[in-house]
């Protein structure tokens, strides 16, 4: 709300300054210079007053910006009667601040959106009946019913024989976990199995999910605001400007020359060109499926030296896939997959759905199963085409067909072994795991060539799983078993090597994303919490979009710097000409407009940035469907 009021105020200043300039020119051309002067003054005073207030606030924060030059030029022009020049400067300055506000405005929703994942009410057992109660009324010891698909509202312990929870958004564990009676269940996890009872151990406000929300808020509050790129040259430019104006006045005794110098020095090339280049970069990045939430994050993105990646759903796909099929008794791999998938159509288990998806991807037509019975967390039994089929965990299926459970050679760390029995005999095994995303290794190599010095993995998953998945990637570090607050500490500790980018997709990544210099969320399938906390959202579910995003950010920043240097150079030449009397204040203001146009046209080159393919060096082709989608999301 505060940001909206600020943006409206800056828009009003621009409208008043522009209206004053245009109406004043109309009266001047109509032969009414006195009225024109009054109108020009009326248009300048609001912009000058707002500028002075901002300068005082900046000095109070220990910051010195180029706003001082603009204030000096407007004030001097008014004092010495150069009201037209003052009006032109007011329009240029208010227009620049308007563009800057647009470029750096961050469309962050209220943190209340983060809580939308958790239901507002919970189902509680009370005197042999069920009642819906608000979360605030829950107390430790309450017995709750968690239905299939529900999000666990509070921390608690499982009060049923078994529960099957998807905790990937909290822990990074890619596959759902089976919990026995008495096991701890974290709020924010999703019930992936049958309904179960939960005994609350904490109030909602003290539970895991609420703690993550607080971590995000604290990390966001601790991140210092991004300073404007142009202000880094402010002190030196201010000294040069004042020196030239003072020398011109001192040696000629003509204060108008000093006014002309100040007007030419008005830093509109810096104020305008930088946000134009960066906004163009934002638009270009969105065209490639990378939504950057403002010019500040884009500029920081261009200076990233350390990259920290989450594993599940970020570096990996986040969904179990079939790695291999081991067949027995002469049954073919296709038959095993088709029969298993046909039966698994009756289950909502994530692994079952992955098997069904794999079978459909191979073009199999799946018959409808009959006489289906599902044992939550164990497996499914039924008939497919008059054949008795059992699909589930190795131990579950082995016990049903009277076989001993043995070690399967194909199963590795982080893999899930799904056994398939047909007509009372073990037919085979499906080995499933969460694989690396396609092109992940090539992407990391490309990022190193772009100047990323350190690449680390940070995951809540087990160390052996993380090591297996990332083998051969050449990471500079691997941190496993991390909690959300430990990820934040890792981000903070890595800052000694330079600006840090964190990439993640789950609720557990949100605090680290907020604490990083640039947080990147996998927004296509990621949690709303991570997208809210992030500075950058990948709108398409492809980690390889990160490379083009960084390349666009660096090219945009380079173009912005070029515009700044060119603008300063031309302004200094103009100041020298004004000091020698070759430019009047009005001519100086018009010259500055020409300089503005030149540097803005240069800044607009950012719209033509074409990221290169890591392997071929050719411009990346934009998928038309994705481009159509993301163009509408351009900030």
Q: Which positions ≥6 away from 533 have C-beta within 8 Å?
A: 114, 216, 219, 220, 509, 510, 511, 513, 514, 519, 521
d(CA 476, CA 554): 23
Pinpoint the alpha helices (H) of 30-66. Answer: 33-60
**Please, are residues 366 and 318 in contact by the beta-carbon 8 Å criterion?**
no
Nearest in space to 566 (alpha carbons), one of 598, 525, 609, 538: 598
- How many residues in the chain? 635
Query: How many other CB atoms sit within 10 Å of the CB of residue 407?
Result: 7
d(CA 172, CA 460): 5
d(CA 113, CA 2): 18
Cα-to-chain-centroid distance, residue 543 = 12
Rounded to a whole number, what is the distance in angstroms from the first to the last CA of the chain? 18
Residue 404, both tokens = 């001993």
For residue 62, give the DSSP letter.
T
Report the SS3 class of residue 417.
strand
**Please, are residues 193 and 164 in contact by the beta-carbon 8 Å criterion?**
yes
Q: Let me know if 310 is a catalytic residue.
A: yes
Nearest in space to 364 (alpha carbons), one of 332, 397, 319: 332
Residue 267, both tokens = 């830093």
Catalytic residue, from 67, 150, 231, 310: name it: 310
Convert 75-97 to b/e letters by CB count within 10 Å (16 or more is b).
Answer: bbbbebebbbbbbbbbbbbbbbb
Give the alpha-carbon dihedral of 501, 504, 509, 511, to 10 degrees.
30
Long-range contacts for 6-15 (Cβ within 8 Å, ≥24 apart)? 6/101, 7/101, 7/102, 7/105, 9/50, 10/94, 10/97, 10/98, 10/101, 11/98, 13/46, 13/47, 13/50, 13/94, 13/97, 13/98, 14/91, 14/94, 14/95, 14/97, 14/98
d(CA 183, CA 152): 14
Q: Checking DSSP bridges between strand 321-327 and strand 177-180, what pairing results, if any?
A: unpaired
d(CA 267, CA 587): 16
**Please, are residues 285 and 603 in contact by the beta-carbon 8 Å criterion?**
no
What strand order describes the sheet that includes 156-158? 129-134, 121-126, 143-146, 196-200, 156-158, 184-185
d(CA 204, CA 135): 6
Task: Number of helices (H) and strands (E) in the chain: give both, helices first.
Answer: 21, 22
Q: Checking DSSP bridges between strand 416-422 and strand 425-433, what pairing results, if any?
A: antiparallel
Residue 634, both tokens = 């351009």
- DSSP assignments along 464-489, one per residue: HHHHHHTTTS--SEEE-S--HHHHHH
**Please, are residues 286 and 635 in contact by the beta-carbon 8 Å criterion?**
yes
**Cα four-point dihedral sign 115, 119, 121, 124:** negative
**Which residues have a catalytic role annotated?**
310
């Amino acid at each position: 709300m505060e940001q909206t009021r600020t943006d409206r105020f800056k828009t009003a200043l621009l409208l008043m300054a522009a209206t004053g300039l245009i109406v004043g020119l109309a009266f001047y051309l109509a032969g009414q210079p006195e009225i024109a002067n009054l109108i020009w003054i009326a248009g300048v005073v609001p912009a000058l007053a707002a500028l002075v207030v901002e300068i005082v606030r900046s000095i109070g924060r220990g910051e010195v910006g180029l706003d001082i030059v603009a204030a000096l030029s407007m004030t001097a022009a008014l004092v010495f009667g150069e009201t037209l020049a003052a009006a032109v400067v007011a329009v240029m300055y208010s227009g620049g601040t308007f563009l800057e506000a647009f470029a750096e405005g961050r469309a962050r929703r209220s943190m209340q959106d983060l809580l939308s994942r958790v239901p507002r009410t919970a189902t509680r057992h009370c005197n042999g009946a069920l009642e819906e109660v608000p979360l605030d009324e829950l107390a430790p010891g309450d017995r709750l019913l968690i239905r299939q698909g529900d999000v666990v509202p509070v921390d608690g312990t499982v009060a049923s024989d078994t529960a099957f929870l998807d905790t990937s958004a909290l822990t990074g564990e890619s596959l759902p976990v089976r919990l026995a009676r008495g096991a701890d269940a974290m709020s924010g996890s999703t019930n992936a199995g049958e309904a179960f009872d939960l005994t609350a151990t904490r109030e909602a406000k003290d539970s895991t999910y609420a703690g993550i929300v607080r971590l995000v808020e604290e990390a966001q509050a601790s991140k210092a605001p991004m300073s404007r790129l142009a202000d880094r040259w402010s002190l030196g430019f201010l000294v040069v400007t004042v020196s030239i104006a003072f020398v011109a006045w001192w040696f000629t005794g003509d204060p108008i020359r000093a006014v002309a110098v100040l007007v030419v020095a008005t830093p509109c090339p810096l104020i305008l060109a930088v946000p134009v280049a960066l906004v163009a970069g934002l638009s270009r990045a969105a065209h490639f499926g990378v939504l950057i939430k403002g010019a500040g994050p884009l500029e920081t993105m261009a200076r990233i030296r350390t990259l920290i990646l989450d594993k599940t759903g970020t570096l990996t796909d986040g969904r179990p896939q079939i790695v291999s099929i081991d067949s027995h008794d002469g049954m073919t791999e296709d038959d095993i997959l088709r029969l298993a998938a046909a039966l698994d159509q009756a289950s909502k288990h994530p692994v079952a759905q992955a098997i069904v998806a794999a079978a459909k991807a191979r073009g199999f037509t799946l018959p409808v199963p009959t006489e289906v019975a599902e044992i939550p967390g164990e497996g499914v039994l039924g008939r497919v085409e008059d054949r008795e089929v059992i699909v589930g965990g190795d131990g579950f299926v082995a016990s049903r067909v009277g076989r001993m459970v043995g070690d399967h050679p194909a199963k590795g760390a982080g893999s899930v072994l799904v056994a398939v029995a047909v007509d009372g005999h073990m037919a085979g095994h499906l080995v499933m795991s969460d694989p690396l995303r396609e092109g992940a290794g090539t992407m990391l190599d490309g990022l190193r060539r772009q100047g990323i010095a350190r690449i680390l993995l940070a995951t809540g998953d087990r160390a052996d799983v993380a090591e297996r998945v990332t083998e051969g990637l050449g990471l500079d570090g691997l941190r496993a078993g991390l909690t959300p607050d430990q990820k934040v500490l890792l981000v903070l500790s890595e800052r000694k090597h330079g600006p840090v980018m964190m990439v993640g997709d789950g609720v557990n990544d949100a605090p680290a994303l907020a604490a990083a210099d640039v947080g990147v969320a996998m927004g296509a399938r990621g949690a709303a919490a991570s997208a809210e906390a992030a500075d950058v959202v990948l709108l398409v579910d492809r980690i390889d979009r990160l490379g083009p995003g960084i390349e666009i950010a660096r090219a945009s920043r380079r173009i912005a710097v070029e515009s700044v240097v060119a603008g300063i150079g031309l302004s200094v030449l103009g100041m020298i000409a004004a000091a020698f009397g070759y430019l009047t204040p009005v001519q100086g203001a018009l010259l500055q407009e020409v300089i503005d146009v030149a540097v803005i046209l240069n800044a607009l080159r950012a719209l033509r940035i074409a990221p290169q393919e890591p392997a071929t060096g050719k411009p990346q082709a934009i998928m038309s469907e994705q481009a159509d989608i993301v163009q509408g999301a351009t900030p």
